[in-house]
Amino acid sequence: MSPEKFTKKPLPLEEQLELLRQRGLVVLDESLALRCLAHHNYYRLSVYRIPFSVPEKPDRFKPGTTFNDLWSLYDFDRSLCALVTEATKQIEISARSQWAYRLAHAYGPMAYENQDVFHDNTHHQKCLAELDKALKQSHEAFVAHHKKKYGMEHLPIWAACEVMSFGTLSRFYHNIRRNGDRKCIAGQYRLSAAVFSSVLHHMVYVRNICAHHARLWNRQFTITLTIPHNPDVLAQSVVRSVHQTRCIYNTLVLLAYLMDIIDPCNTWGQRIRQLIQQQKFPVVSHMGFPNDWHQLPIWKKSHNIDIQKLDGTRIEPPQGLDAHSSTPSGDILPAIPT
């Protein structure tokens, strides 16, 4: 069967609005609707009509649906994306710091160049190429400083991590050879190495969805999280059904948990809860939320997370590698400045 010939033509804003009316949408404020269509694209907004559509008739709105209903759902998704972006930025910065700190003390300032530190040489070379490209394209003053003062094309790990992408960081972490190194980094967040690797990969994926301004709130994720079984605050708050794990709920749980680790005084979880509860439309039923979600530990700000202090972190001596480290084996490393 041959594909149907595309015959659609672009419509002026007024005709776009009239088409929505013909499909049953109630427009209470025409000037608002026209402005929204002008600045946010009919095609972009149209995907938010699906929850308001008549079953089996996706081009027909349920009786009484208004443009304000459509716009409110769109605006909710924008606010959700902003909060998710805020949290993933904090997690990226924290993970960079932990990755660089561990490897620098175990293997020296240029640890990321040491092939023996990483498991798969092909993946390691790809990561180095990505980082090299980022360094060459960077206009940061500290990059120019290292080139001018030290003649360094490749920066020490604690500086290089500041220009690498979140995706490159995720791949560098996943490829670390020694499980002890991965466990040490993941342990700062009270997570297993496998779960933390999954979290980084997933958060890169989610952050990119937000960066491209794509629909987030009811998306079915293709890259999902490995469900953690500890600590208790996570085990008691995540959902485990196959359908729900592809929704955003578990992502929000992990983001709230990690934000509490990174900044115990943050208000991110409360703002997510407030945003959800402000919605007239029952968004939670499309996002994988359990019915009793607001009673679960992660959404109660009074919950206590046993946060591992970063001072006193013990670095295990590398086995069979040239560590290039001045830290005596078994010594306690100095605290990371806060």
- pLDDT tens, position by position, 149-187: 888 878 999 999 999 999 999 999 999 999 999 999 999
pLDDT at 267: 95
Would you tell me how many other CB atoms lie within 10 Å of the CB of residue 333? 17
- The b/e string for 269-278 (b: 16+ C-beta within 10 A; e otherwise) is beebbeebee
Residues 139 and 232 in one domain: yes
Residues 60 and 91 in one domain: no
Residues 142 and 287 in one domain: yes
Lowest average pLDDT, out of 18-32, 83-97, 143-157, goes to 143-157
Distance separating alpha carbons of residues 245 and 235, to the nearest angstrom: 13
Residues 182 and 50 in one domain: no
Domain tally for the chain?
2
* pLDDT grade for 141, boundaries at 50, 70 and 90: confident
- 91/140: higher pLDDT: 91
pLDDT at 1: 76
Task: Confirm whether 24 is domain-assigned.
Answer: yes
pLDDT at 324: 38
Residues 34 and 95 in one domain: no
Residues 162 and 281 in one domain: yes
pLDDT at 321: 45
Task: Confirm whether 130 is domain-assigned.
Answer: yes
Task: Confirm whether 159 is domain-assigned.
Answer: yes
Residues 293 and 244 in one domain: yes
pLDDT at 322: 42
pLDDT at 226: 95
Q: Contact at 8 Å (CB) between 181 and 103? A: yes
Residues 18 and 83 in one domain: no
Q: Contact at 8 Å (CB) between 286 and 246? A: no
Task: Confirm whether 264 is domain-assigned.
Answer: yes
Residue of 191, 196, 223 whose CA lies nearest to 207: 223
Q: Is the pLDDT assigned to residue 103 strictly greater than 70? A: yes
* pLDDT grade for 78, boundaries at 50, 70 and 90: very high
Residues 265 and 165 in one domain: yes
Q: Is the pLDDT assigned to residue 34 strictly greater than 90? A: yes
Residues 52 and 133 in one domain: no
- For residue 289, what are the domain limits? 78-299
Task: Confirm whether 310 is domain-assigned.
Answer: no
Task: Confirm whether 286 is domain-assigned.
Answer: yes
pLDDT at 303: 52
Residues 133 and 232 in one domain: yes
Residues 20 and 145 in one domain: no
Task: Confirm whether 275 is domain-assigned.
Answer: yes
Strands (DSSP E) found in 3-138: 53-54, 57-61
Q: Note if the pTM is more than 0.85.
A: yes
Residue range 129-151: mean pLDDT, rounded: 88
